[in-house]
Amino acid sequence: MKIKVLGCYGGEVPGKYISGFLLGEDTLVDAGTIGLNLELKAQRKLRNILISHPHLDHICALPFLGGNVLSNKSESLKIVGAKFSLEAIKKYIMNGTVWPDFTKIKNQAGAPVFSYMPISYLKWVTIGKYKIKAIPVNHTVPTNGYLIGEGDSYMLYSGDTKTTEAIWQEGKKLGTKLKAIFVETSFPNERADLADKTGHLTPAVLEAQLKKIGDKAKPKIFIYHIKPEYQQQVEKELKKIKGFDLTLVKQGNTYTI
């Protein structure tokens, strides 16, 4: 599986963009960043977008994508997620007031530009060439991470979360097929209170989460969603975590698992 990092930060400053990950050529995981890091031709190849939750830093590139794929001669681009996330996007963002409702605008093949595909928690579904399972995590609004598989390789994507259980247990069940974990870490340890209130991880709490996977799988750990103002401090604290193969996600990089 190939994962290209379009954006990976928990806030925006010049050159640092918010969460968006491209799987292969046609699937996105979260949509904080699309057009800032993906050429028009590549945007037009997108077919499925998995959303973890409707916070703006995970969906805000969707409206502009809609306006860039009007000439697609293809079926609708599917926005995939829990009902709560899709309803929020429909009601508050692409509602015909803040932005056009792209499920009512046709592309050049006559299909709606976007369609919404609600999925249930804890059930495997096939989306394009990927096997997907949405698993609820613990944030300030209903949020889910994903297990995503291609062939025999699986990755776990945490979404925004603080300490949580189900996704770690589901990841552990995959055993050695679990090759990578993309997990958020937003705040340094000294802001543990704020992290807990806002539903995010600190390096210390991350370490406790990673131990829940057990020692059989040994996946690579990729850290994203660091708040730019705390980046140095968080990175310093992450370096102290021992016993895991830990990488700070680099924007623009493509990782193969």
What count of Cα atoms within 13 Å lies in the side-chain half-sphere of residue 150?
13
CB of 108 to Zn ion, least distance (A): 34
Nearer to Zn ion, 55 or 179 (CB): 55
Would you count residue 55 as binding Zn ion (CB under 5 A)? Answer: yes
Q: Give the C-alpha separation, 87 to 91, whole Å.
A: 6
Cβ(79)–Cβ(115) under 8 Å? Answer: yes
CB of 89 to Zn ion, least distance (A): 14
Stretch that binds Zn ion, among 60-68, 79-87, 113-121, 156-164 (CB under 5 A): 156-164
Binding residues for Zn ion, how many (CB under 5 A)? Answer: 3
CB of 41 to Zn ion, least distance (A): 28
Would you count residue 30 as binding Zn ion (CB under 5 A)? Answer: no
Nearer to Zn ion, 111 or 166 (CB): 166
Residue 90 CB burial class (10 angstroms; 0-12, 13-18, ≥19): middle
Quick one: which of 30, 150, 160, 207 contacts Zn ion (CB under 5 A)? Answer: 160
- Terminal Cα distance for the chain, rounded: 5
Would you count residue 200 as binding Zn ion (CB under 5 A)? Answer: no
- Residue 209 corresponds to which tokens in the numbers above? 């989460």
Q: Give the C-alpha separation, 254 to 257, whole Å.
A: 10
The site string for Zn ion over 108-147 (x = CB under 5 A, - otherwise) reads ----------------------------------------
CB of 160 to Zn ion, least distance (A): 4
CB of 144 to Zn ion, least distance (A): 12
Distances (CA, A) of 13 to 146, 176, 200, 228, 236: 27, 37, 20, 7, 20
Distances (CA, A) of 242 to 137, 167, 204, 237: 25, 22, 11, 11
Nearer to Zn ion, 160 or 237 (CB): 160
Q: Give the C-alpha separation, 80 to 21, whole Å.
A: 14
Quick one: which of 9, 31, 57, 77 contacts Zn ion (CB under 5 A)? Answer: 57
Stretch that binds Zn ion, among 54-62, 71-79, 96-104, 167-175 (CB under 5 A): 54-62
3-state SS, residue 53 = coil
Contact residues for Zn ion (CB under 5 A)? 55, 57, 160
